[in-house]
Amino acid sequence: MKTISLEEAYSILEQCAAIVVDDAVMYPSLWELNGNDNNEFLYLSWTDGDYREFHLKFVEGDNREIKVSGSSLFLTDADLDNDHDETQITILQQREL
């Protein structure tokens, strides 16, 4: 699996039309990168068909290098107890007109 820098992944997230996480399509909420390990740069939230709410937050220190496969980024959620579990975020690109 290929890896890219956090800055490269951030740029992809800024330019995408939307993302898919666990079959939910959403727009990523991004905040600026500042180099601080505890800086939250990405927040995702959604509700499933059973009205359960899900929240994910991503900080710089856990995501200095991002794994990439096809159109998916694999980021580490700051609230996970296991640092080895990653969240797959599939990028949806804008369609060329």
Q: What is the DSSP string of 25-67?
A: EE--EE----S-TT-EEEEEEEE-TT--EEEEEEEGGG-SEEE
Could you report the per-residue pLDDT of 58-83, keeping only the tens digit for each?
Answer: 999 999 999 999 999 999 999 876 55
Decide: 25 and 89 in contact? Cβ < 8 Å: no
Report the predicted TM-score, pTM, of the whole model to 2 decimal places.
0.88
What pLDDT digit, counting tens, does each position of 14-46 carry?
999 999 999 999 999 999 999 999 999 999 999
